Amino acid sequence: MADYECLEEFEEATPLQKRFCSQLSVEEYEQSAADSTEEALAQLIAHLDTNPQAYHKILQAKKDEEIGVFSYIKVHNTQTGTL
């Protein structure tokens, strides 16, 4: 005989008290996306206002990125003989 007990009947499933998701309409989804974006941008602006070094670090990285692109274009054009 097996070491487990075989039950003949089971309790009925208990309905959930909370719903964690629901289907949204397109309008609700777009509004939610716009609200989330606006909130995230406000948080970013507040962070940059209180941490100016972060702002300057981002600007420097952007400048370095642009310099890299222009260097690539210059080298590429020199190699191919185009302007």
φ, ψ of residue 10 to 5 degrees: the values are -120, 155
Of 61 and 82, the structure prediction assigns the larger pLDDT to 61
pLDDT at 42 over 70: yes
Question: What distance in Å separates the CA atoms of residue 10 and residue 80, rounded to the nearest whole number?
Answer: 77
End-to-end Cα spacing for the chain: 87
pLDDT at 39 over 60: yes
Instruction: Tell me the mean pLDDT in the region 68-76.
Output: 63
pLDDT for the residue numbered 7? 63
User: Do 48 and 54 touch, CB atoms closer than 8 A?
Assistant: yes
Of 77 and 39, the structure prediction assigns the larger pLDDT to 39
Amino acid occupying residue 76: H
